[in-house]
Structure 1
Amino acid sequence: MTLQFSVLASGSTGNSIYVETDDQALLVDAGLSGKQMDLLFKQIGRDPKKLSGIFVTHEHSDHIKGVGVFARKYQLPIYANEKTWRVMEPQLGEIPTDLKFTFPTDSVRTFGKLDIESFAVSHDAAEPMFYIFHYEGKKLAIITDTGYVNDRMIGKIKNADYFIFESNHDVEMLRMGKYPWSVKRRILSDVGHISNEDAALAMSECIGDQTKGIYLAHLSKDNNMKELARMSVTQILKKKGFAVGESFSLYDTDPKIPTPIKTI
């Protein structure tokens, strides 16, 4: 009984995560064009025709750009909470009623032996939420697009086998960068994105005995670098007494190149 996943794409240009069990194949978001999504599936050696559904986190285009196209092409059910449906539906194009499903925030839905749990995050969207996958005692937690990580979120995702965790920006790079102040203020706000440092501090509260790996996700292409994110997170976790690279590993993600399929 295996739980497998690949971060197909992660960053401000588009986000999508593939999750597979023995009897389910699912997508969290499809923030790239249908054509790009097909290419990503080829790169991981999986067939989108075998997908059982798309789970949407929120309505921003870097998370839903390909959702409508992909759902129509492969007849895929789409799951999202009511407020997200309301604002994203006009962006998706025509979706048949039998492919539209509501997945409330802070609830659990079961697909075969897989339990999928949704939880709220803090982001400037209608009702943003992310997902935890529970399968045969294994746990995969996804948390990006949040301005902070509070105790409630930590309680939900704690002690996952693997995390896909936002590490969006380096604060100094952002402050010194070319973005207008209004955009900088939005990113740094409680409904923006989490920095490398704050991500690491949150991770230090979430890592448990079961944890084997953390994927650093949703890196800003202008205000972060893979090496910098990894170094910043590693330094803070080591200061907190964690044996990074020994008891668990840090992994990069990329806007265009999927991570190799990981089996939990």
Structure 2
Amino acid sequence: MRFSVLASGSTGNAIYVENDEHAFLVDVGLSGKKMEQLFAKIDRDMKKLSGIFVTHEHSDHIKGLGVVARKYNVPIYANEKTWQAMDGQIGKIPLDQRFVFNMEAVQSFGSLSVESFAVSHDAADPMFYVFHENGRKLVLITDTGYVSDRMKGIIRGADSFVFESNHDIGMLQMGRYPWSVKRRILSDVGHVCNEDAAVAMSEVVFEKPTQIYLSHLSKDNNMKDLARMSVTQTLQSCGIIPGEYVNIHDTDAEEPTALATV
């Protein structure tokens, strides 16, 4: 199993996951043209996509969904409430490309199993995914106001995490956003801050080689260096020393990460 975080941030999100048999996207939060450019950078062909999994209906996750699905005839998987919420946002999708992926369910694609789980976000029915193959585990978890014990139980022990580290609380509080937006981000249905993300990480990593990709960083209320420093310091305070068995990686809103093997 291999993956690349094609783009991650407040302006658009998309993650590519493949094995020897299938190739998938999780979310298409950028234009079709931009998606093609990102695929070229990781030397992959969008014509070979097997499907697209949708997490929720916010525009930074579905901006290019309809265009890409229609152009490349790609099946779309989302839960019923998300399908309803996307109505009118992604254009007409042929019935033979519309598939329901229920919450807290597992679907198998050959040797690859995909598990969905609920997160806490202000969307219709937001959910993220765990990819399993041959005892290896890739977790994708962003767009949640907190990480519940139930979420931790599902994601615990992964070999690779794409984990939200959205904002620095000080930057957010002092920043230009109106208070209503700040309150939404800080709420239980908003986004997790750097320190809270790291505390959750400390409770789900096992003592084995583990890769953590810090994702969905706010353009206005975070910076890569700050997120990495905050997460590192918090993990250290929890008894985990990044570089020993846990490695921290950046993601970017414009550039894909190198294809990594899980």
- Match for 2:125: what amino acid? E
1:41-80 → structure 2 map (5 Å cutoff):
41-80=39-78
Aligned counterparts of 2:53 and 2:189: Cα–Cα separation in 1 = 21
RMSD between superposed Cα atoms in Å: 0.6
Q: Deviations over 1:38-67 (max 9, x none)?
A: 000000000000000000000000000011
| Pairs aligned (count) | 262
TM superposition shift of 1:246: 1.8
What is the percentage of aligned positions where both structures have the same residue?
66
Aligned counterparts of 2:157 and 2:229: Cα–Cα separation in 1 = 22
Query: In the alignment, what sits opposite 1:8?
Result: 6
The TM-score, its normalising length taken from structure 1, stands at 0.98
Q: Deviations over 1:136-164 (max 9, x none)?
A: 11100000000000100000000100000
Uncovered stretches (5+) of structure 2, i.e. residues with no partner:
none
Query: In the alignment, what sits opposite 1:120?
Result: 118
Query: In the alignment, what sits opposite 2:99?
Result: 101
Query: In the alignment, what sits opposite 1:163?
Result: 161
The TM-score, its normalising length taken from structure 2, stands at 0.99
Aligned counterparts of 2:246 and 2:125: Cα–Cα separation in 1 = 32
TM superposition shift of 1:89: 2.4
Tell whether the 8 Å contact from 2:208 to 2:245 is kept in structure 1 after alignment.
no
- Which one of the candidate residues 228, 233, 242 is aligned to 1:235? 233
- Match for 1:252: what amino acid? D
Tell whether the 8 Å contact from 2:119 to 2:151 is kept in structure 1 after alignment.
yes
Query: In the alignment, what sits opposite 1:244?
Result: 242
Is 1:206 paired with 2:204? yes
Q: Deviations over 1:5-54 (max 9, x none)?
A: 00000000000000000101000000000000000000000000000000
TM superposition shift of 1:251: 0.2
1:85-100 → structure 2 map (5 Å cutoff):
85-100=83-98
Tell whether the 8 Å contact from 1:115 to 1:135 is kept in structure 2 after alignment.
yes
Uncovered stretches (5+) of structure 1, i.e. residues with no partner:
none
Query: In the alignment, what sits opposite 1:143?
Result: 141
